[in-house]
Amino acid sequence: MKVSYHDKPFKIDSLPVKQIHVIDDWMDHENWVWLNKYITGLRRWGFNNSVVYKDGTVTETTWGMVFYSKFFEQPDPNDDYGKPIKQKVIDRLCNEFGIEWQQFDYCGMNGQTEKLQGTLHTDSFREKNISFLWFVNLSWDDDWGGALRFYKQDALEEVKGFSEDIVDKYQVAKVDYKPNRLVIMDGRIPHSADAPINSTYNLRQTMVVRGNVAKIT
């Protein structure tokens, strides 16, 4: 599977996207720093972000924070704490990449500390979907790991969870964790996120913005 690296945003011309797209230094520095402080100050992290298979098996639980769920529903109707995220991230993604949500699905944070290995999963089953993953951390050492891995479709039929064997047998692409890196992908592609290594106290943070159905504007 091809991974294309870009130096600036671009207008998406078809859905689903045919490649994995990566943009480095996506967010301007001022808003990137502001958003980090805002997210930290919310104090809404919970150990409740799980991958659940059709048979009910839970293969992963990591730290998470929800800003919006389906159709922009808010977790707390009395506190629209996701509003700055919508203005500074979600709306920006739509404007820069030329899309409009027809069925918005989710916006939230994923957080992994050492040994919280991400497991094999997909974000969507709909053809016109799109997923954005923004690597939020202000700093990250290369030897801390945290790569995002992509796999063949048939891995879903044969694998639950994660093991080094599925990397060897099914992996088709890998994107290293780098601060302020944005990944754009077809959410139907099976993927997993590596836990940090050599870094006991660091939190690998990603912001996920995805929709089951989007339209090109």
DSSP 105-153: EEEEEEEE-TT-----B-S---TT-EEEEEE--S---GGGB--EEEE-T
Is 139 inside a domain boundary? Answer: yes
Is 8 inside a domain boundary? Answer: no
Beta bridge partners of 173: 150
Least Cα distance to 46 among 65, 69, 59 occurs for: 65
Q: Tell me, what CATH number does 87's domain have?
A: 2.60.120.620
Is 3 inside a domain boundary? Answer: no
Q: Give the chain's domain count.
A: 1
Is 7 inside a domain boundary? Answer: no
Is 145 inside a domain boundary? Answer: yes
Q: What is the mean pLDDT of each run of 10 residues along the chain (217 residues)?
A: 96 97 98 97 93 83 95 87 97 98 97 94 95 98 96 88 89 98 97 92 95 96
Is 60 inside a domain boundary? Answer: yes
In terms of residue numbers, what domain contains 49?
15-216
Give the pLDDT confidence of 45-93 residue by residue, as tens digits. 999 999 888 777 888 899 999 999 988 888 888 899 999 999 999 999 9
Is 58 inside a domain boundary? Answer: yes
